[in-house]
Amino acid sequence: MENNSIKSLPTTWNKQVDHPVWVVSDAHLGVDAKLCSLEREKHLVRWLDLASQHAQTLVLLGDIFDFWFEWKHAIPKGYSRLFGKLTELKDKGVDVHFFPGNHDMWTFDYLEKELGMEIHRKPEVWQIQELAVYLGHGDGLGPGDYSYKLIKKVFANPVFQWLYARFHPNFSFGLASMLSQRSRKSGGDQSQFLGEEKEWLIQFSKSKSKYFPKHLFLFGHRHLPMHHALPNGAHYLNTGDWLHYFSYVRIEQGHAELWFWPVDGQAYMKLHVP
Ligand SMILES: [Mn+2]
C-alpha cells in the first residue's frame, strides 16, 4: 500500500479511523421475515458483541428499524435488547455510528442522546486505515426513483414532521406499515442482480468514481450483498441485509471483506476487495 495515491487526493475526509470498522445494515426490525424480528434482533446483538471484539468503530448503515419515529416525550416500543447492547458498547468506549435509511430517517435526538450513537444524515467519505470509503445508506442516489426523491424531501421537512407527530401513534404506525408494505410490493422482484444499467447504486458509484478514484463505495438499501469493480480503481460493495442474508462488511488493513453469519452457523467470508 506504499504508493498510496489516495492520500494525495484533494479529498477532505469526514472522518479518519485508524482501526478496523465493521458495518451492517437493513435489519428492518419491527417486521417479521423468514425469521421474526425478535430472532433477528437477538442475532444482531450477537453480531454487535462479536464486532466490538474486533473493531472499535461500528457502523449501522440504515434501515435498522422498519419504522422509527420519535415524539417529544415518547419513542416506539420494542428493541430493548438492541438498545441495551448499544448502551453497553458506548459505555465501554466503542463508537457506534448510524446513517439513517429511508425507513428510519425520523430519528431526531433520542438515539444520539440516549444511546450515544453518532448520526450521519448524508453519505460521507471516511479514511479507514489505508482505504478511502464513500459510505451511506444509498436511498435516493443515482438515476431514477423520482417519486421517492420527492417524498424524501417532504418527509425531511420539519413542518411535515411536526404535523405527523400530532397524530396518535396507533394511527402513525398503521399508516407507516401500510406504506411500507405497499412499497415492498410495488418494488418488483429485486432479489436478483438487475444488471449494471439498472443497479442505480452502481450507476451512482460509477459516475462518482471519476472524482473519488480508488475509493470503496459502500452502501446498504439494496438488500443484496454484492461487489462490482468500477472504473478508476474504485469498487462498489453492498452490505446486503440482516433480514435474509445476515451479511456485513469488515474494513481493515486497506481492504474490505464481505461476510455472512447465518443464524444457525459460523460466520464466513465471501469476498475480499480490492
Ligand atoms: Mn433502505
Q: Look at residue 11 in the predicted model and tell me its pLDDT.
A: 59
The pLDDT, as a whole number, for residue 2 is 39
How far is ligand 1, taken at its centre, from the CA of residue 223, in Å? 8
Please check whether residue 213 lies inside any domain of the structure: no
Burial tier of 218 (Cβ tally within 10 Å: 0-12, 13-18, 19+): buried
Helix (H) or strand (E) holding 119: strand 118-119
- Pick from 136, 99, 125, 132: nearest CA to 13: 125
Where do runs of H (alpha helix) occur along 138-271? 146-155, 158-166, 169-186, 200-208
CATH of the domain at 125: 3.60.21
Q: Which residues of the chain have pLDDT under 70?
A: 1-11, 187-188
CA of 139 to the centre of ligand 1 (A): 6
Does any domain span residue 130? yes
Query: Has residue 140 been placed in a domain?
Result: yes
Distance 123 CA to ligand 1 centre (A): 13
Q: Which residues of 234-255 are buried (b: 16+ CB within 10 A; e: fewer)?
A: bbbbbbbbbbbbbbbbbbbeeb
Task: Name the nearest CA neighbour of 256 among 234, 271, 241.
Answer: 271
- Does the residue 202 lie in any domain? no
The structure's pTM equals 0.92
pLDDT at position 144 is 76
Please indicate, yes or no, if residue 64 is contained in any of the structural domains. Answer: yes
Report the Cα 153 to chain-centroid distance in Å.
Answer: 20
Q: How far is the CA of 109 from the centre of ligand 1 (A)?
A: 20
CA pair distance 55, 32, nearest whole angstrom: 29
> Does residue 174 fall inside a structural domain?
yes
What is the grid cell recorded at 148?
421517492
Compute, in angstroms, the gap from residue 131 CA to the centroid of ligand 1.
25
Distance from residue 200's CA to the centre of ligand 1 (Å): 13
Q: Please provide the DSSP assignment of 50-113 as one string.
A: HHHHH-SEEEE-S-SBSS----SS---S--HHHHHHHHHHHHHT-EEEE---SSS----SHHHH
Asked if the structure places residue 47 within a domain, the reply is yes
Judge whether 230 lies within some domain.
yes
Rounded to an integer, what distance in angstroms lies between the CA atom of residue 137 and that of residue 114? 22
pLDDT for the residue numbered 38: 97
Grid cell at residue 103 = 425507513
The CA 162 to ligand 1 mean position distance, Å, reads: 23
- The predicted pLDDT at position 250 comes to 98
How far, in Å, CA of 29 to CA of 31, rounded?
6
- CA 206-209-211 angle, 5° bins: 140
User: What percent helix, strand, coil does the chain show, rounded to 5?
Assistant: 30, 20, 45
29 lies in which domain range? 12-188+219-273
The pLDDT score that the predictor gives to residue 55 is 97
Rounded CA-CA distance 247/243 in Å is 9
Give the pLDDT confidence score for residue 239 in this predicted structure: 98
- Asked if residue 52 lies in contact with residue 58, where contact means CB atoms within 8 angstroms, the answer is yes
Residue 104 CA, ligand 1 centroid: distance in Å: 9
Domain count, the chain: 1
58 CB burial (10 A radius; 0-12, 13-18, 19+): buried
* Residues in CB range of 27: below 8 A, 6 or more apart: 40, 41, 44, 63, 64, 65, 241, 242, 243
Separation of CA 61 and ligand 1 centre (Å): 9
Distance 230 CA to ligand 1 centre (A): 22
Distance 185 CA to ligand 1 centre (A): 14
CA of 65 to the centre of ligand 1 (A): 10
85 C-alpha to center of ligand 1: Å?
Answer: 23
**Listed residue (134, 133, 138) closest to 252, CA to CA:** 133
How many A from CA of 154 to the centre of ligand 1? 17
User: Could you tell me the distance, in angstroms and rounded to a whole number, from the CA of residue 4 to the centre of ligand 1?
Assistant: 33
Measured in angstroms, how far is the CA atom of residue 2 from the centroid of ligand 1? Answer: 37
